[in-house]
Amino acid sequence: MSAATLFGLCGAALAGLGLYGVIVHPHPLRKILAFNLIGGGVFVILGIVARRGAAAGFTSDPIPQALVITGIVVAFAATALAVALVLRLLHETGWVTLRPDLAIGARPDDPHC
Amino acid sequence: MSLAFALDAILGLAVLAVAAWTIVARDAFAAIVGFVAFGLLLALVWVRLAAPDVALTEAAIGSGVTGGLLVAACSHLRGDAAAAGIEQPRAILRLAAAVACVVVTAGLAAIVLLLPDPAPTLAPQAAAQLAQTGLGNPVTAVLMAYRAIDTLLEVVVLLLALVGIWSLAPDRFWGGRPGLRQHEDPNGMLVFLARLLPPLGVLVGIHLFWVGAVAPGGEFQGATVLAAMWLLAMMAGLVDAPPIDRRWLRLALVAGPAVFLAIGLAGFAVAGAFLAYPPDHAKLLIVIIETPVTLSIAATLGLLVAGPPERAPPG
């Protein structure tokens, strides 16, 4: 197995891990983190496509590499916007939840019960 | 099994372990620290995949700036674990999610294992035209010449994200300063670093931007280092975040996309297509575009982390 295949499998596992986090974590900030893990996995898979496309004296195909660089920057922009939305939700309602029945004025006195 | 492959396997396992930590950690702050470590390990993976430009971007933006953004958000959310406490999904949902994610991973793994051999590649085409661009780094040639429209749109996406964040501000704060003001502790470690690092950091940022033409680096990586130095000075309280309605600030934000677009449109007249460069002057035009773009990206990244205005405008 080549290093590219190894890291490709690693990227596949990252995407799965991230998807699990997006589904099971109730807190939006943790969902954002997990979503970035999915992104990391997808970028790595694109990266091994670049590595396998090494030719013409380049050790890696530059076109997928440039796509990944663009992707990382856009992922950051989306993350920043998502975080700003979460903080705005916190300022509006006093806490952060995605459940509409809990969102407005329903903060329990003892949340751990 | 060679030593290099064994080291790669250890690196891959470390990446997965840290990624798993960011999912299972109970404390959000611990998860974010794990995420920063994940980004740095992923940068090593990019080095091993012979993609140093991507490695720099991942370390600077994917790990550094994103980590700073999340740590700042986490400090606002302290004590908000309440919601998570009563919203834990049931075990059956966790199990179903785990099964679904294993299926997704297996599907992606199958694709990775079944990739065509020999792999399709555009590297020969990229190499054939490289001399015409006057650049030595093929990745920069893709970003600034072959696929310059992607980069133009990317810079616009950054601006749109900033517009989106600013528009989340309550009306009374519109035109005010983002809420990063920290009280300066003149003997603090942060202030010491904020005085020591920026002169070096600005040099490193400009170097990364300039050297991107021939070696790993480029305007995004350079701009990120510049933005980090600005954020460091803001967090230490040495400079305050600017009110968002300042004209010089708006000019700095749009200068890059505006120059990029103007030269792109001029391409119709001088080279027959949008964003086409006349072959003799390609390198010069690319540098003319990259300089204001670097400035605009640095300003945009800094303000994206600073967040929406949280203080009423002066006067």
pLDDT tens, position by position, B111-140: 999 988 888 888 888 888 887 877 888 888
pLDDT of residue A103 exceeding 60, the answer is no
Domain for residue A108, yes or no?
A: no
Give the distance from residue B82's alpha carbon to the nearest chain A alpha carbon, in angstroms: 5
Domain for residue A113, yes or no?
A: no
Chain B contact present for A50, CB below 8 A: yes
Q: Is A94 left (phi over 0), alpha (psi -120 to 50) or beta?
A: left
B chain contacts of residue A61, beta-carbon cutoff 8 Å = 121-123, 126
A chain contacts of residue B9, beta-carbon cutoff 8 Å = 6
Q: What is the pLDDT of residue B166?
A: 93
Q: What is the DSSP string of B230-246?
A: HHHHHHTTSSPPPPTT-
- From residue B183, alpha-carbon distances to A78, B187, B192, B238, B309 in Å are 30, 12, 14, 9, 18
Higher pLDDT pick, B102 / A91: B102
Both structure tokens of A21: 């986090």
Q: Pick from B74, B158, B6: which is nearest to A74 by CA?
A: B158
- Match 């890696």 to its residue by tokens: A60
Q: What are phi and psi of B26, to 5 degrees?
A: -75, -40
Note the pLDDT tens digit of each residue in B25-67.
888 889 999 999 999 999 999 999 989 999 999 999 989 899 9
Both structure tokens of B162: 């900033």
Domain residue limits at A77: 3-99
The verdict on a CB contact (< 8 Å) between B126 and A58 is yes
Collapsing DSSP to helix, strand or coil, B178 comes out as strand
Q: Is residue B294 within 8 Å of residue B212, measured between CB atoms?
A: no
Q: What is the pLDDT of residue B86?
A: 58
Q: How far apart are CA A80 and CA A76, in angstroms?
A: 6
Domain for residue A55, yes or no?
A: yes
Q: How many other CB atoms are there within 10 angstroms of residue B310's CB atom? A: 18
Domain for residue A61, yes or no?
A: yes
Q: Closest CB to B73: pick one of A7, A34, A86.
A: A86
CA angle B175, B290, B254 (to 5 degrees): 20
Domain for residue A47, yes or no?
A: yes
Domain for residue A109, yes or no?
A: no
Element (H, E) at B81: helix B81-86
Domain for residue A48, yes or no?
A: yes
Q: Pick from B67, B69, B17: which is nearest to B41 by CA?
A: B17
Average pLDDT across chain B, whole number: 88
How many domains are there within chain A?
1
Chain-centroid distance of CA A113 in Å reads: 32
Q: Residues of chain B with pLDDT > 90: what percent?
A: 46
Q: How far apart are CA B133 and CA A62, in angstroms?
A: 15
pLDDT of residue B304 exceeding 60, the answer is yes
- CA gyration radius for chain A? 19
Q: What is the pLDDT of residue B127?
A: 82
Sort B168 into a burial class: Cβ within 10 Å, 0-12 / 13-18 / 19+: middle
Q: How far apart are CA B39 and CA B49, in angstroms?
A: 15
Q: Pick from A88, A14, A108, A24: which is nearest to B62 by CA?
A: A14
Q: Pick from A40, A96, A89: which is nearest to A68 by CA?
A: A40
What average pLDDT does the segment B255-278 reach?
89
Domain for residue A62, yes or no?
A: yes
Q: Is the dihedral of CA B231, A37, A19, B50 positive or negative?
A: positive
At residue A35 the predicted structure's pLDDT band, cuts being 50, 70 and 90, is: very high
Q: How far apart are CA B146 and CA B286, in angstroms?
A: 12
Q: Closest CB to A73: pick one of B69, B113, B158.
A: B158
Q: Pick from B180, B58, B235, B250: which is nearest to A76 by CA?
A: B58
ipTM: 0.90
B chain contacts of residue A71, beta-carbon cutoff 8 Å = none
CATH number of the domain enclosing A66: 1.10.287.3510
Q: Is residue B15 within 8 Å of residue B47, measured between CB atoms?
A: no
Q: Is residue B51 within 8 Å of residue B74, measured between CB atoms?
A: no
